[in-house]
Amino acid sequence: MIPTFRHGVKTKGRKEYTENMPFEEYPVGDFVYIPLLQHIGKPATPLVIVGDKVKCGTKIGEADGFISANVHSSVSGEVTGIVDLPCATGLPTTHIVIKNDYKYEEDFLSPIQNPTKDEVLERCKEAGIVGMGGATFPTIVKLMPKTPIKALIINGCECEPYITVDYRLMLEKAAEVLSGIDLVKRALGVNKVYFGIESNKPEAIIKLRDISTDDEIEFCELKTKYPQGGEKQLISAITKEKVPKGGLPSDLGYVVFNVSTVYALYEAVYLGQPLIYRHMTVSGNGVKRAANLRVRIGVQLSDIVEYLGIEENVVKVVLGGPMMGVSLHNFKSTITKGSSSLLLLAEKEIREIEPTPCINCGRCAKACPMFLMPMVTDRAILHGDIEGANNSYAMSCIECGCCAYVCPARRPLVQSQRLAKKLIRKNKLTPA
């Protein structure tokens, strides 16, 4: 039997729209708008002023503390503005506006061959690498765990529907991905690697197995099920161990890295290229030409939509995957380090139905990969019972969306969990 975790849902994968499309370079236009906050933590501090000349890779934002990340220019040209603009969540964020001179002069770091552990750590920090699987947590923090690590786990599941970025990287850049894994091994001082890949990506598994010369990498074919790529679910599927409630993978001696992140680390160390590109999928029935793109960070979504074309049938726009992404109301925000996909969805791809009262069918609990009772949290929130929401272990929710996906009453269960977490924090309750 193919290994997996307990619970979760089978989604319509819809990978076929883009899985056979190689990456194409997006031709960036006159301006990029680069946010100083593209990661979990504090925004970077601006290092440039209006009128400064920059090149591709010039550091324009300095990490503000350990939980922060450097930001670099993705084009060469002139800084024409430092302005507050809404990011994808709608919150205003400081952006550096750069007018592209179309020369693409580079200001990269020096490539390092055969780096030491300290050189990998320093380069990871300098290049502004963050987790590119969605969390955007500064990668340097993960590379400096406080507890001993027994194995590295690579997440090649890409379980969100539509997205085919990691799949294409595993096919097109397999050697580079494996080199990136070797860098993480050096930084962590570990030998053992588990590489988890869902069973719907057989070509990637074959390709990686064929070219890998590292006997310590164990390729693990995992069942195609959502959220197989969730850190806790991935660890459970591969090792059968359970991350304790409120705990981290490192508590069990594991560190999990996403494929796009190890590839970014490869580019930073061996090419000297800071994190200035994002590989992304643009898909859905509402886009005229679905594609996998290599995009410079700071490109406006409207430019990408214009480039690929938009159908009249679009009823929903999502940045990220359909399960955990953010719904957008316009195309004003820009591509950041965490933008794995842009989905233009037509009516037949979504189920926008008004919620009705819960019928106590229990499907949400059966789907929840964290073994929660989402209907209990939902009910508690409806009644303003914050303590009750806390007692339903809302703080353990990973916001995967499985519960809402299966709910026949279309209850807004993820929103209830998010609100519960917010209120638990606001009221300073100890998480149950």
Residue 370 touches ligand SF4, criterion: CB under 6 A: yes
* Cα(125)–Cα(269) distance, integer angstroms: 11
Pattern 401-420, binding to ligand SF4, x per CB under 6 A? xxx--xxxx-x-xx--x---
Min dist CB 330 to ligand SF4, Å, is 26
How many other CB atoms are found less than 10 A from the CB of residue 39? 28
Q: 32 and 81 in contact (C-beta within 8 Å)?
A: no
User: Between residues 159 and 409, which has the closer beta carbon with respect to ligand SF4?
Assistant: 409
Pattern 302-341, binding to ligand SF4, x per CB under 6 A? ----------------------------------------
Residue 372 touches ligand SF4, criterion: CB under 6 A: yes
Q: Which stretch binds ligand SF4 (CB under 6 A): 29-37, 231-239, 268-276, 360-368?
A: 360-368
Residue 359 touches ligand SF4, criterion: CB under 6 A: yes
Min dist CB 213 to ligand SF4, Å, is 39
Among 82, 174, 315, 398, binds ligand SF4 (CB under 6 A): 398
Query: CA distances (Å), 316 to each of 170, 311, 312, in order?
Result: 29, 12, 11
Residue 368 touches ligand SF4, criterion: CB under 6 A: yes
Among 364, 376, 381, 420, binds ligand SF4 (CB under 6 A): 364
User: Between residues 336 and 416, which has the closer beta carbon with respect to ligand SF4?
Assistant: 416
Closest CA to 197 of 172, 173, 222: 222
User: Between residues 197 and 397, which has the closer beta carbon with respect to ligand SF4?
Assistant: 397
Q: What one-letter code names the amino acid at 236?
A: S
User: Between residues 170 and 420, which has the closer beta carbon with respect to ligand SF4?
Assistant: 420
* Cα(397)–Cα(369) distance, integer angstroms: 9
For tokens 């997996």, the residue is 4
User: Between residues 28 and 407, which has the closer beta carbon with respect to ligand SF4?
Assistant: 407
Residue 85 touches ligand SF4, criterion: CB under 6 A: no
Min dist CB 196 to ligand SF4, Å, is 19
Residue 72 touches ligand SF4, criterion: CB under 6 A: no
How many other CB atoms are found less than 10 A from the CB of residue 424? 19
Using the CB atoms, write b or e for 272-300: b if 16+ within 10 Å: bbbbbbbbbbbbbbbbeebbbbebbbbbb
User: Between residues 262 and 394, which has the closer beta carbon with respect to ligand SF4?
Assistant: 394
Residue 395 touches ligand SF4, criterion: CB under 6 A: no
* Cα(57)–Cα(77) distance, integer angstroms: 11
User: In what order do the strands lie in the sheet containing 77-86?
Assistant: 31-35, 92-100, 77-86, 53-54
* Cα(124)–Cα(18) distance, integer angstroms: 30
How many other CB atoms are found less than 10 A from the CB of residue 346? 16
Residue 113 touches ligand SF4, criterion: CB under 6 A: no
* Cα(261)–Cα(275) distance, integer angstroms: 10
Q: Which stretch binds ligand SF4 (CB under 6 A): 82-90, 112-120, 251-259, 391-399?
A: 391-399
User: Between residues 41 and 229, which has the closer beta carbon with respect to ligand SF4?
Assistant: 229
Q: 246 and 101 in contact (C-beta within 8 Å)?
A: no
Footprint on this chain of ligand SF4 (rule: CB under 6 A): 358-364, 367-368, 370, 372, 374-375, 378, 397-403, 406-409, 411, 413-414, 417
